[in-house]
Chains A and B, each alone.
Chain A
Amino acid sequence: MSEPFTFSRQRFLAFMRKEMLEVWRDPSSIMIAVILPLVLVFLFGYGVSLDANTVQIGVSLEDTSPEARSLAYAFQKSKYFDTRIERTHQALEDDLVASKLRGVVIIPEDFTRKLQGGRQAEIMVIADGSETNTAAILQGYAEGTLATWIASRTAERTALPDELSPSGITPVVNVWFNPEMTTRYTLLPGSIAIIMSMIGTLLTALVVSREWERGTMEAMMATSLRIHEMLIAKITPYFLLGLGSMALCVGLSIFAFDVPFRGSLFVLLLSACVFLLCALGQGLLISTIARSQFVASQIALMTAFLPAFMLSGFLFEISSMPAPLRLLTYILPVRYFVAILQTSFIAGNVWPLFWQNLAAMLAIATALLTLTARRTAGRLD
């Protein structure tokens, strides 16, 4: 274009004021910026817990030695289990079939004999497979309880030979940071990334496509408002709104859900800003393709919400994904944001990790915003 570059503060401020008034008056923006974070935080805080709380199990204590009773007691005092102890496993198995119990732990009568004979002692864990998630958790906790018990035994009498530790017990590395293994601690910081993706991408995609739908975009293009003025005026309010939601989420996580925060607030703010630029850029890019709110929301859900949910590493380990998906995660800014968030909350300041992830996000943000600025022409055709 031969047009010299001009930037009018008056036009920019007027358009931004309009945008803010719309946010304030349009219930859907407030919904996305305030209600959605609240719902998600409470959902992840209370509802979607991958912890098994008070799973009903039965312990069949068929060996009466103090060793065996001590193990049964370990199950009983665990806060994850609601334990009923019986002498035989018959009644317990019936209750398992009737879904009154989620699992049964059998301590066989030869338990102590084998333990003392230096052989591999076995206990049997039967889990209700109809609820796969609970079953897996039950198995994990049963192993955990067993491991804790063995550890305490070992501490008591150091004489216990090494080979006594039953096989299949895997030491949990994270225990040091998250001794209770509360998934809330990793879920809540991760959900912040989802919320920010939604606000950044969905909200901008929606508000721009709404302008197309209502014909106001066409009217704006025919005024003296320049495209770059419009883009910056559109981004600014949602940038601020996103930071507000971020503060809300972080505050709730720390104060309402007691999630520890061990990192630096400065890094948190910096990474939120860079991530928001990525999300806003993505939203604006969507709006250059989609000119109806319906299509825009679909694309935003597909390209922002789902990847944030499934591929960011907050719910599923990236390292355990198939190779193509793992490669895909490298172009998702949310992956880097989740890494920073989880580290900041749970681990503390790991500077090399911060810088690497920040740099990756910055690169993506630059690419997205450049692409958007190129694609957004001041014309209809």
Chain B
Amino acid sequence: MNDDAAISIENVHKSFNKKEALKDITSCIKHGQITGLVGPDGAGKTTLIRLMAGLMVPDEGRIAVCGLDSVNDSARIHDIIGYMPQKFGLYEDLSVQENLELYASLKNLQGDEKDKAFERMLSFTALAPFKQRLAGNLSGGMKQKLGLACALLAHPKVLLLDEPSVGVDPISRRELWSMVSALVKDGIAVIWSTSYLDEAQRCDHVLLLNEGTLLFSGPPQELTGRVKGRSFYFPVAQAERRHALMDLLKLPSVIDATIQGKGVRVVLAKDADPQATGFALEPVAARFEDAYIDILGGGPGGESELAKHVGAIAPDNAATIEADSLTKQFAKFTAAHNISFSIKHGEIFGLLGPNGAGKSTTFKMLCGLLKPTQGRALVCGFDLKVSTSEARERIGYMAQKFSLYSDLSVRQNLDFFSGVYGLSGNTRRQKIEEMVNIFNLSSYMNSNAGTLPLGFKQRLALACATMHAPEVLFLDEPTSGVDPITRREFWLHINSLAQKGVTVMVTTHFMDEAEYCDRIALIYQSENIATGTPDELKEQAASQEQPAPTLEDAFIALVQSWDEKNNAQKKAA
């Protein structure tokens, strides 16, 4: 056994109900490093972290944390680790201070030592002004920081973080990263599981899991090196981007293609000739994500079967969706204030913003689920206040949370939704069959929807939302928590539908996905603070320090400048 290893994992197997969650994992995690645990949904990341925390027992093999066996010495392991589970492990009815006190006592801190640890953590997380606030009333980012503070109180030797950045806005995500990076210098071993590949890229070491198998263990640069010379960029006019993307995806030599900035980013298969594609591809540096998609067997290619079955919708010059100074008031709280924009036929329009900014409220007013307090929402020319049912027939809606019937089978769900949308007889049977083929649902037909893997749940939800060939598609966080490969499949469908003339309105917190949108509205503190194409937003945010910001940089810059302006106004008042 390696003595200076923080955690050593030897031939670990773990099964649940005969299903193998982890297969023969062997690895070594070092002190003073951030080790990224990456992989698609259901790859076994959480199981591995729980095994390391001594919360589960491996079926075979052994794990040692700082030399302590995870089965026999689990109590002593708990004394020296800091662990933050997915939901942060906070008591919502307790204040920030009380949560810290509880964890301090449970970590055996006393007296002076305890006070010092508090000081340190409150200043480290900048939570000092919120000491008395209940944890349940904190924002997602603040909860995450408090969770981290609780895990860090007793100077742990090993810090285990299970998807710490899920559901947290980009600004908080960056802050957390810099906080954790600072810790590593003191020699702590950090295990950080994530589905964000930009985070994985910044780790010192990466363990890449897929379906319980360890595909790669090493520095991320090493994995990225494997696809060296295979990443290209195809610059193309904004209006042509989607078209170019679809054409590129049809080529067998293309492993992965995504819209990025003013063009399409392409990863070619090994030994493929960029000249042979017929596109003027410019070589670019490989990213970790390119290598990730490559090692997982490439993204979906070809055409969207879903769009094939949709008839082209005749273009119309009038705006398909129109938000006219929408305001929503909940008691004294204004959830959306004076929000206006209009969406053209066949456009993909994105709503972006931190949690609780008013995205979902705006979204729900536009698909007729919430009545605006003031202003009008028009879909296909119908005012949603007056003629809800006419407008609803033209709408397909996929809710943020899984909104199908968990206790009905896939077949029963499809039957039910086809009935709801008024399909019957042969059309109905045909349509269901189509959906089953398109989304590859045949092997799950008799399983209850609630038991499906997340990716399939989302597919089923999209199938149910598009079965009646709607003219307008509302997608609320359709890819939240879904792994990059399935996300690409979704966007293939969405892009193809837009090509056919379907108008799509989407919310997302993945900044790379926002690149797919034709236009974006940035919602912050209940207001629409910027609308435009991704490029326009980036230009607005460009500065001397950041001449070519990414969309995430732009998002952060726009939000910060809004805050500054607001503060200045408040001071002036």
Known: A25-B93, A224-B107. A18 touches B98 (CB 8 A): yes
Whether the Cβ atoms of B81 and A10 lie closer than 8 Å is: no
Residue in B16, B85, B87 whose Cβ sees the most chain A Cβ within 10 Å: B85
Measured CB to CB, the nearest residue on chain B to A4 is B75
Question: A322 at interface (Cβ–Cβ under 8 A)?
Answer: no
Partner of A379, one of B56, B76, B83: B56
Question: A221 at interface (Cβ–Cβ under 8 A)?
Answer: yes
Q: Give, as a whole number of angstroms, the nearest-CB distance from B250 to chain A.
A: 44
Q: Give, as a whole number of angstroms, the nearest-CB distance from A124 to chain B.
A: 57
Q: Which of A1-36 contact B (CB under 8 A)?
A: 1-3, 8, 10-11, 13-15, 17-18, 21-22, 25-26
Whether the Cβ atoms of A219 and B94 lie closer than 8 Å is: no
Partner of A225, one of B54, B73, B101, B106: B106
Question: A157 at interface (Cβ–Cβ under 8 A)?
Answer: no
Whether the Cβ atoms of B74 and A219 lie closer than 8 Å is: no
Whether the Cβ atoms of A222 and B90 lie closer than 8 Å is: no
Question: B463 at interface (Cβ–Cβ under 8 A)?
Answer: no
CA distance A224 to B104 in the complex (A): 10
Known: A14-B105, A18-B102, A224-B108. A3 touches B75 (CB 8 A): yes
Measured CB to CB, the nearest residue on chain B to A23 is B93
Q: Which of A221-246 contact B (CB under 8 A)?
A: 221-226
Question: B198 at interface (Cβ–Cβ under 8 A)?
Answer: no
Question: A216 at interface (Cβ–Cβ under 8 A)?
Answer: yes
Question: B251 at interface (Cβ–Cβ under 8 A)?
Answer: no
Q: Give, as a whole number of angstroms, the nearest-CB distance from B445 to chain A.
A: 27
Partner of A10, one of B75, B79, B105: B105
Known: A223-B103, A224-B107, A226-B75. A215 touches B93 (CB 8 A): no
Whether the Cβ atoms of B55 and A218 lie closer than 8 Å is: yes
Measured CB to CB, the nearest residue on chain A to B83 is A222
Whether the Cβ atoms of B75 and A222 lie closer than 8 Å is: no
CA distance A3 to B160 in the complex (A): 23
Residues of B within 8 A of A224 (CB): 75, 78-79, 106-108
Residue in A8, A15, A26, A224 whose Cβ sees the most chain B Cβ within 10 Å: A224
CA distance A14 to B91 in the complex (A): 13
Whether the Cβ atoms of A215 and B102 lie closer than 8 Å is: no
Question: B89 at interface (Cβ–Cβ under 8 A)?
Answer: yes
Please, what's the 1-or-0 string for B103-146, where 1 marks a CB less than 8 Å from any CB in chain A? 10111101000000000000000000000001000000000000
Residue in A18, A26, A220 whose Cβ sees the most chain B Cβ within 10 Å: A18
Whether the Cβ atoms of A14 and B89 lie closer than 8 Å is: no
Whether the Cβ atoms of B102 and A15 lie closer than 8 Å is: yes
Residues of A within 8 A of B469 (CB): none
Partner of B93, one of A2, A17, A26, A380: A26
Whether the Cβ atoms of B56 and A18 lie closer than 8 Å is: no
Whether the Cβ atoms of A379 and B103 lie closer than 8 Å is: no
Question: B403 at interface (Cβ–Cβ under 8 A)?
Answer: no
Whether the Cβ atoms of A18 and B91 lie closer than 8 Å is: yes
Q: Give, as a whole number of angstroms, the nearest-CB distance from A97 to chain B.
A: 50
Residues of A within 8 A of B254 (CB): none
Question: A161 at interface (Cβ–Cβ under 8 A)?
Answer: no
Residues of A within 8 A of B88 (CB): 215, 219
CA distance A226 to B87 in the complex (A): 21
Whether the Cβ atoms of B98 and A21 lie closer than 8 Å is: yes
Q: Give, as a whole number of angstroms, the nearest-CB distance from A52 to chain B.
A: 46
Question: B50 at interface (Cβ–Cβ under 8 A)?
Answer: yes
Whether the Cβ atoms of A219 and B108 lie closer than 8 Å is: no
Measured CB to CB, the nearest residue on chain B to A17 is B102
Please, what's the 1-or-0 string for B247-282, where 1 marks a CB less than 8 Å from any CB in chain A? 000000000000000000000000000000000000
Q: Give, as a whole number of angstroms, the nearest-CB distance from A127 to chain B.
A: 47
Residues of B within 8 A of A380 (CB): 50, 55-56
Q: Give, as a whole number of angstroms, the nearest-CB distance from A292 to chain B.
A: 13
Residues of A within 8 A of B74 (CB): 3, 378-379
Q: Give, as a whole number of angstroms, the nearest-CB distance from A115 to chain B.
A: 69
Q: Give, as a whole number of angstroms, the nearest-CB distance from A229 to chain B.
A: 9
CA distance A221 to B98 in the complex (A): 18
Whether the Cβ atoms of A11 and B75 lie closer than 8 Å is: no
Residues of A within 8 A of B105 (CB): 10-11, 13-15
Whether the Cβ atoms of B53 and A222 lie closer than 8 Å is: yes
CA distance A3 to B77 in the complex (A): 11
CA distance A3 to B79 in the complex (A): 13
Whether the Cβ atoms of A220 and B106 lie closer than 8 Å is: yes
Known: A22-B94, A226-B75. A10 touches B108 (CB 8 A): yes
Whether the Cβ atoms of A219 and B56 lie closer than 8 Å is: no
Whether the Cβ atoms of B55 and A8 lie closer than 8 Å is: no
CA distance A373 to B316 in the complex (A): 69
Residues of A within 8 A of B56 (CB): 379-381
Question: A374 at interface (Cβ–Cβ under 8 A)?
Answer: no
Residues of A within 8 A of B101 (CB): 14
Residues of B within 8 A of A222 (CB): 53-55, 78, 81, 83, 85, 160
CA distance A226 to B79 in the complex (A): 11
Residue in A18, A222, A224, A225 whose Cβ sees the most chain B Cβ within 10 Å: A222
Residues of A within 8 A of B57 (CB): 379, 381
Whether the Cβ atoms of B89 and A379 lie closer than 8 Å is: no
CA distance A14 to B107 in the complex (A): 11
Q: Give, as a whole number of angstroms, the nearest-CB distance from A378 to chain B.
A: 7
Known: A3-B75, A11-B108. A216 touches B53 (CB 8 A): no
Please, what's the 1-or-0 string for B26-60, where 1 marks a CB less than 8 Å from any CB in chain A? 00000000000000000000000010011111000
Question: B84 at interface (Cβ–Cβ under 8 A)?
Answer: yes
Residues of A within 8 A of B78 (CB): 221-224
CA distance A380 to B54 in the complex (A): 9
Measured CB to CB, the nearest residue on chain B to A219 is B89
Question: B447 at interface (Cβ–Cβ under 8 A)?
Answer: no
Residues of B within 8 A of A218 (CB): 50, 55, 85, 89
Measured CB to CB, the nearest residue on chain A to B104 is A14
Whether the Cβ atoms of A214 and B92 lie closer than 8 Å is: yes
Partner of B86, one of A1, A215, A221: A215
A-B contact pairs, 8 of them (CB 8 A): A1-B72, A2-B73, A21-B98, A22-B93, A25-B93, A219-B85, A219-B89, A381-B16
Known: A10-B105, A14-B105, A222-B53. 11 other contacts (CB 8 A): A3-B74, A11-B108, A14-B106, A21-B94, A22-B93, A22-B94, A216-B89, A219-B89, A220-B106, A223-B78, A224-B106
| Closest 9 pairs (CB-CB, A-B) | A219-B89, A14-B105, A215-B87, A222-B83, A223-B106, A25-B93, A381-B56, A218-B85, A3-B75
